[in-house]
């Protein structure tokens, strides 16, 4: 065995490990870059009757309100969740939701239930969800059907 073969046998595993490490670092840096995705309502939104699903690809969130507590649950764990209640002048009031039991469930007390207490009542809402550098956003109307 000549010296070039011996050197190749010693250097090849080191280069392989470095290649895998650098590829992993590259993928991690790409995943952390900010991206924005729009969530769209899946059918009619009725937050007060727990029938409001917003989708973007495979990612889904459900927005619901019961007893003055607004809850957002999702198919993937969230980093943050913010709900905005928009008035007739298009001014939004933010409600930063807090994690409930797991990163899949977020909640906060909001006045949405009182605004949607009667059949036919509607409200304009916005939501911003963050997951690992990606931001998911939606602006939608909810209307009470029952």
pLDDT digits (tens, 9 = 90+) for 26-74: 888 776 666 888 999 888 888 888 888 999 988 999 999 888 889 999 9
Q: In the structure, what pLDDT confidence band is assigned to residue 107 with cuts at 50, 70 and 90?
A: very high
Mean pLDDT computed over 106-128 = 84
Q: How many helices (H) and strands (E) does the chain have?
A: 2, 11
- Per the structure block, which two tokens stand in for 71? 């809850």
| pLDDT in the model for residue 33 | 66
In DSSP notation, 64-130 reads EEETTEEEEEESS--SEEEEEEE-TTS-EEEEE-EE-SSTTEEEEE-THHHHT-STT-EEEEEEEEE
Per-residue pLDDT at 57: 87
């Amino acid at each position: 065995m000549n010296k070039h073969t011996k050197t190749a046998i010693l250097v090849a595993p080191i280069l392989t490990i470095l290649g895998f490490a650098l590829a992993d670092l590259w993928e991690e840096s790409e995943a952390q870059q900010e991206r924005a995705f729009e969530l769209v309502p899946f059918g009619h939104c009725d937050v007060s009757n727990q029938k409001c699903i917003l989708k973007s690809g495979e990612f889904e969130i459900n927005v619901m309100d019961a007893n003055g507590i607004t809850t957002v649950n999702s198919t993937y764990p969230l980093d943050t969740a913010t709900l905005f209640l928009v008035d007739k002048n298009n001014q939004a009031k933010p409600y930063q939701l807090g994690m409930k039991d797991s990163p899949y469930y977020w909640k906060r007390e909001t006045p949405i239930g009182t605004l949607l207490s009667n059949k036919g009542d509607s409200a304009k809402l916005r939501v911003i969800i963050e997951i690992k550098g990606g931001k998911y956003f939606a602006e939608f109307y909810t209307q009470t059907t029952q």
